[in-house]
Structure 1
């Protein structure tokens, strides 16, 4: 048995970077005490998320005010991430932050350990005016880590089946989905358990795991920030769509132990191997219908007849 213990957080992070480091250190300590080899933290850990989600017409003054309210922009090779690398040791950690590339900002994520950054990602799909603050990423790529081949997504990405599928086709066995997923802004409810956006969040997590037969690790922000109230609901979902561990609507750290080879192999060897049994030669019309002619660029591992895992 090659078991891997995974922990995932629903935790509150804001603009106070030092408070964020203390929170991360405490989560690392708890994850280590549970024997975890992978710890997945939410979107926008270092410096917090946006205080609101806008969109529509915006005055120049409002835009300037919005840009002044952004979290600190950090470089991949900067001291802020180096501090997490130094904390990580042999623990693999995935976390979100605002990445600086010159004057351009991205909503970004990294996976790292004490050896350095193992993979990085810039959020592709942008909801509700997020494009007023961030540029969009352009790639989904899996990467190798000591706990297995992984992929990363951020928040709204999970609403697009193609995003998770691209990572699965690139060999990902684990997909880390980092979020600052809020409760609904209209038709609000007193109990987060009854919130319709929380329900969507959970449906996406289970569906993406099941349809790609991967271990899906979904972190989320907790508490409130600006006008946003986050739904928590961090979870680990197995490749059969089953909930392995979750925090519910409370902050916390969910932990599960899974044999990746056995779990993924059982899901894909049980008569339904979704990656193998696709018919990509028939799907091009879906892309053409929306204005893009021809087959989209496919990940390096993609073929028309994928081999068995």
Structure 2
């Protein structure tokens, strides 16, 4: 039996890059003392997210960092045996990407550039074009960012690539068109939890879901960091407050148990599925 402790952060990370880094380093140190093996920070924890999802202001974009930036180097130096996933705006030549990086004291273990872009996000970031899993000290892992988890194919691609754990990093706000007076009653609050649980249950994997809290410009973030088991059950959650959702589990044993009778990946019928919409003729 190999037990690992999975942790998902809900917290406010704004535009102040150095303050965000200091906060991340403090949370990492505390998590390491408490025996956390995987720590998943929100999307855009280094430099903050957009202030307006529909029309992002060109003069208020998150600072873009190179993959070999001092900030990421500081996290690698501090991580030690802890596996850390964190989001930032990646500078890549003339482009910038909404990127998640997975690292430990051994260096960068994997990266993911957000593929699916809602509303006006394409005005601020280029889109990624791939989903892939990779090996880490806590097992084979894949990452999703924000809107990626709305699409079942995203998590399914990671599960088919062998991921037992999906780290879902978000800067997920309340509805921008029909905002509720209370966050728990907001339509996006319900959907955020629904997607986390559905992606875990349909692929029979663990989902470690982080999110921003607080306010950035016009956006009010939901929090609701959580750890979800391979049956779609929420094992730990911060609800709408900041904090750390933690669960200690035997990842491999729980996945084997979930798939003992009904193995969703093995029992697919690929010959019956429409991969793309058929062309329509009149």
| TM bracket, shorter-chain basis | over 0.9
Whether 1:30 aligns to 2:30 is: yes
Aligned pairs (5 A) from 1:90-105: 90-105=81-96
Secondary structure of the residue that 1:182 maps to in structure 2? coil
Residue of structure 2 in register with 1:282 after alignment: 272
Distance across 2 between alignment mates of 1:207 and 1:106: 27
Larger Rg: 1
Alignment of 1:67-86 (within 5 A): 67-86=58-77
When the two chains are superposed, the root-mean-square deviation of aligned CA atoms in Å is 1.3
Cα separation, 1, equivalents of 2:61 and 2:11: 19
CA shift for structure 1 position 29 = 2.3
Uncovered stretches (5+) of structure 2, i.e. residues with no partner: none
Bigger Cα displacement from structure 2, 119-128 vs 181-190: 181-190
How far does residue 290 in structure 1 lie from its aligned partner after superposition? 6.7
Q: Is the 8 A contact 2:21 2:71 kept in 1?
A: no
Cα deviation 1:189-245 (Å, max 9, x = unaligned): 222111110100000000000000000000000111111000100000000111110
Counterpart check, 1:273 vs 2:268? no
Query: What do residues 149-179 of structure 1 show as CA deviations (whole Å, max 9, x unaligned)?
Result: 0000000001000000000000000000000
Aligned counterpart in structure 1 of residue 238 of structure 2, from 240, 247, 266: 247
Q: TM-score, normalised by structure 1?
A: 0.88
Helix, strand or coil at the partner of 2:64: coil
Q: Any residues of structure 2 matched to 1:1-309 within 5 Å, and which?
A: 1-54=1-54, 66-269=57-260, 271-283=261-273, 285-289=274-278
**1: CA distance between counterparts of 2:264 and 2:119?**
32
Contact 2:43-2:49 within 8 A present in 1 as well = yes
Q: Which is worse superposed, 23-32 or 126-135?
A: 23-32
Distance in 2, matches of 1:211 and 1:71, equals 34
Number of paired residues? 280
Give the whole-Å Cα distance in 2 for the aligned partners of 1:119 and 1:259: 22
- 2 CA distance for matches of 1:116 and 1:68? 32
Please say if residues 17 and 63 of structure 2, whose CA atoms lie closer than 8 Å, have aligned partners that are also in contact.
no
